[in-house]
Amino acid sequence: MLPIRDETPRYSTPYVTYFIIALNVLVFLFELSIEAKGPRALDSFIRTFGVVPLHFERAASAGHFSLVGMFLPVLTSMFLHGSWMHILGNMWFLWIFGDNIEDYLGHFTYLLFYLLSGVAAALAYIALDAGSNVPTVGASGAIAGVMGAYFVLHPKARVLMWFPPIFFFHLPAWLMLGYWFVYQFLSATSLGAENQNMGGVAFWAHVGGFIAGIVLIKILPERHQHSRYATW
């Protein structure tokens, strides 16, 4: 099933959401230019700027842990994607749910929220799949944080869903997002390790990002009502 749109109104222009989407697309186009030089070039790039849990484990055990060196791939991995379907799916979910969270938090706080959710997602993946040598890339951990925040703020919002090939109907956000989270958690606990070792989905990153979004949206301040229509 695929969400088509939500029915929660917004009161400001989601400039940060637009910026994040544009940045992800530009970075993916840059990845394609690297891939044109050969698959090994892209693999080296992904292993450098993606999150590889085994690298963190080895660095920690060897005592060569560099905070900057370790944090860089956590940050850059959020803007890398493995395929057109990967980036299109992630950006579509961000397009649907991101604007309302940005509307609630304000632009700068929303950007901070997004990055912190992505960091939390990466740390969850590193901690719970520490021996994996598979690079993980993608914005889905940060976007899972956006979905967790939406789950808290707009549980009764109606989301139009498409069930291929032809069925369309509305679901409350709490049901759609709750089902998504339970699926990610069950996949992580039962099939996640095997799937990730084969280069599949980093389910623990999704779980960590979603939980981080729920926590952060309760901690970070809401944009003041009198500035509801401001841009920054």
Hey, is 64 helix, strand or coil? coil
For 159, counting Cβ atoms within 10 Å of its Cβ (0-12 exposed, 13-18 middle, 19+ buried), the class is buried
**Tens digits of residue pLDDT in 148-199:** 999 999 999 999 988 877 788 899 999 999 999 999 999 888 854 444 444 5
pLDDT at 192: 46
Q: Which residue from 84, 88, 140 is spatially nearest to 117, judged by alpha carbons?
A: 140
Distance CA 162, CA 3 (A): 6
Residue 107 near residue 155, CB atoms below 8 Å: no
**Tens digits of residue pLDDT in 103-135:** 999 999 999 999 999 999 999 988 887 777 888
pLDDT at 40: 87
Question: Which range has highest mean pLDDT (25-39, 128-142, 194-208)?
Answer: 25-39
pLDDT at 189: 86
pLDDT of 231 > 90? The answer is no
Which tokens belong to 111?
A: 């950007």
Q: Which domains does the chain have, with CATH numbers?
A: 2-227 (1.20.1540.10)
Of 51-55, 148-152, 209-213, 228-232, the least confident: 228-232
pLDDT at 225: 56
The β-bridge partners of 2 are 162
Distance CA 118, CA 124 (A): 10
Of residues 226 and 71, more confidence is placed in 71
C-alpha dist (Å) from residue 80 to 109, 125, 232: 23, 16, 27
Which tokens belong to 49?
A: 């700027």
Burial 176-187 (b: 16+ CB within 10 A, else e): bbeebbeebbeb
Residue 110 near residue 97, CB atoms below 8 Å: no
Residue 6's pLDDT band (cuts 50, 70, 90): very high
**Tens digits of residue pLDDT in 38-76:** 878 988 899 889 888 887 777 666 666 666 667 888 999
pLDDT at 224: 66
pLDDT at 115: 97
Arithmetic mean of pLDDT, 203-229: 84
